[in-house]
Each structure stands twice: as C-alpha cells, then as structure tokens.
Copies of this chain bind each other. A is one copy, B any other.
C-alpha cells in the first residue's frame, strides 16, 4: 500500500470509531437531549449512500467502514429515541 492508502485507512478508522464514545456516553448517562436527531438522520442517510458508493466502486474498505459507521449512527438514533423526554 502507498502512503495515501495508509492515511485513508487511518482516516476511515478514526471517523468510524469516533461514534463509539458517543454511544457509551448516552448509554451510561441515559441522556441524549443535546444530540441533534436531524444530524444523525442526515448522517445515517449519507453513510448509507457511501456504502452504496463502496459497493458500486468495488471498494471493500469504503463499504465496510461505512457499514460500521451506519450501525453506530443508528444505535445513537435508537438511544436518542429511547431516552427522549
């Protein structure tokens, strides 16, 4: 792999795992009031399309990274709904 491949791999790993601390925070505090539901709805639609893009261009890393990110964003949406006031 060339340098930019490694940078892309690291970038994709970071933008994917970033959502894990947010899931843990909501899970522990049982609060998600300050989370924007619009943000996560639009973001989930976006990563779903990135996944389609990954499938169409035959890119396994793009497909996989966005599949994981989509699951994490969906978990945040479900928790947001679950802990609504």
A residues lining the B interface (CB < 8 Å): 3-4, 7-8, 10-22, 24-26, 29, 31-36, 38-40, 42-43, 45-47, 49-50, 52-53, 56-57
Name A's interface SS.
helix
Question: How many subunits of this chain does the assembly comprise?
Answer: 2
Q: Specify which chain B residues have a CB less than 8 angstroms from the CB of A31 in the assembled complex.
A: 33-34
How long is the Cα–Cα vector from A53 to B35 in the complex, in angstroms? 29
Q: Smallest distance from the beta carbon of A59 to chain B beta carbons, Å?
A: 10
A11 in contact with B42 (CB, 8 Å) = no
Q: Smallest distance from the beta carbon of A54 to chain B beta carbons, Å?
A: 9
A7 in contact with B42 (CB, 8 Å) = no
Instruction: Name which residue of chain B comes closest to A37, CB basis.
Output: B21
